[in-house]
Amino acid sequence: MKYYAGIDLGGTNIVAGIVDETFQIIASAKRKTALPRPCDTIIEDMEATVREAAGQAGIAVRELDYVGLGCPGMIDITTGIVIYSNNLEFYHEPVGEKLSGRLGIPVLMANDADAAAFGEFKAGAGKGSQNMIAITLGTGFGSGIIIHSKLYTGFAYGGAEIGHSLLVKDGELCTCGRRGCLEAYASATGLIRLTKNRMEGCKESLMWKLVDGELEKVSGRTAFDAMRQGDPEGTAVVKKYTEYLAEGMVNIVNIFQPEIICIGGGISKEGENLLGPINTYINRYAFSRFADQNTSVRIAELGNDAGVIGAALLGEAFQCR
């Protein structure tokens, strides 16, 4: 049996896992990222987390071919340098080289959303396909592109940022500095903003009761929960949000026409409440609607394990390696 090690480095936690040939995590370990702090101390914790996971699996680190690391930001996959990560405050940090030196084996790196996408492609909702787009609806709008079974990153590793494509010209301000990005409307953050705006315009909405009258308690679930209880304002928020998301999905189909679009993140738990409007839009507006085969939109299957599994399998992920 062959084993792989993967690290999912997030703003909250460092998670390392040992993955077997069937793409199952057989052992894992976790530490708090505890930001902000220096890069080198985070690397020390990543090393310790990998060693702990390997120990739990009964495997020596030297027996692994490599360790894969999914990291937020723009990653030079050929050198293991984090070109820029705003979440971690890394700027041109040679993370791969430093971690490799500490572990004594090679370290392969990718953007964390790309790693999670590859995990879903190999072991989750994209299994059996060759072309897939994975979307994560969280604080931002993460995305990963697989073409002919390889991750596509762009020639300088800043591509595949579907969330920063334009949806509304001169629209809401995005964290990237541009106005009207898909991320500003279709992320969980965008949904929360839309929910709050609607609530402030209607003090009688059930949504106020669901959050005990406190706007700070609004989450991505608030409008959906209100909709399920028949609240017209919550229903209006869900309708508008799913329209924004569906328009973005149609754009993806028109550009890539992947076999599968896989949707993950907390909001993906709404299932058919998302898939229904998306499929309606695709069937009505996608240029490929007249084709014999159409893109399948699915909910992600691996949850929080996708990043670790995808990172562990980075040895076969890159189109440009």
Domain membership of residue 20 (yes or no) is: yes
Same-domain status, 153 and 185: yes
Residue span of the structural domain in which 223 resides: 130-300
Long-range contacts of 286-295 (CB under 8 A, 24+ apart): 286/250, 286/253, 286/254, 287/253, 287/254, 288/253, 288/254, 288/257, 291/257, 295/253, 295/257, 295/258, 295/259, 295/260, 295/261
Same-domain status, 103 and 181: no
Same-domain status, 10 and 103: yes
Burial profile 233-269: b = 16 or more Cβ within 10 angstroms, e = fewer: bbbbbbebbbbbbbbbbbbbbeebbbbbbbbbbebbb
Mean pLDDT of the chain: 94
Residue 11 scores a pLDDT above 80: yes
What is the C-alpha to C-alpha distance for residues 17 and 8, in angstroms, rounded to an integer? 9
For range 273-292, the mean pLDDT = 93
Domain membership of residue 24 (yes or no) is: yes
Same-domain status, 192 and 55: no
Q: How confident is the model at residue 311 (pLDDT cuts 50, 70, 90)?
A: very high
For range 203-217, the mean pLDDT = 97
Q: How many percent of the chain have pLDDT more than 70? A: 99
* Count of structural domains within the chain: 2
Domain membership of residue 112 (yes or no) is: yes
Same-domain status, 138 and 261: yes
For range 184-205, the mean pLDDT = 96
Same-domain status, 49 and 64: yes
Q: Say whether 156 sits in a helix, a strand or coil.
A: coil
Same-domain status, 98 and 161: no
Q: What is the pLDDT of residues 57-103, one digit of tens each?
A: 999 999 999 999 999 989 999 999 999 998 899 999 999 999 999 99
Same-domain status, 113 and 142: no
Same-domain status, 157 and 99: no
pTM given for the model: 0.89
For range 155-177, the mean pLDDT = 91
Q: How many percent of the chain have pLDDT more than 90? A: 87
For range 42-65, the mean pLDDT = 96
For range 171-182, the mean pLDDT = 94
| pLDDT at residue number 319 | 56
Higher per-residue confidence, 210 vs 291:
210
Residue 123 scores a pLDDT above 90: yes
| pLDDT at residue number 320 | 45
For range 237-247, the mean pLDDT = 97
The values of phi and psi at residue 67, to 5°, are -115, 135
| pLDDT at residue number 128 | 93
Residue 219 scores a pLDDT above 90: yes
What is the C-alpha to C-alpha distance for residues 220 and 119, in angstroms, rounded to an integer? 25
Domain membership of residue 125 (yes or no) is: no
CATH number at 53 reads 3.30.420.40
Same-domain status, 210 and 64: no
151 Cβ neighbours under 8 A, 6+ residues apart: 110, 114, 117, 118, 144, 145, 317, 318, 319
Same-domain status, 88 and 197: no
Single-letter amino acid code for the residue at 191: L
Q: How confident is the model at residue 154 (pLDDT cuts 50, 70, 90)?
A: confident
Same-domain status, 159 and 174: yes
Q: How confident is the model at residue 321 (pLDDT cuts 50, 70, 90)?
A: very low
Query: Residue 53's closest CA among 20, 30, 21, 23?
Result: 30
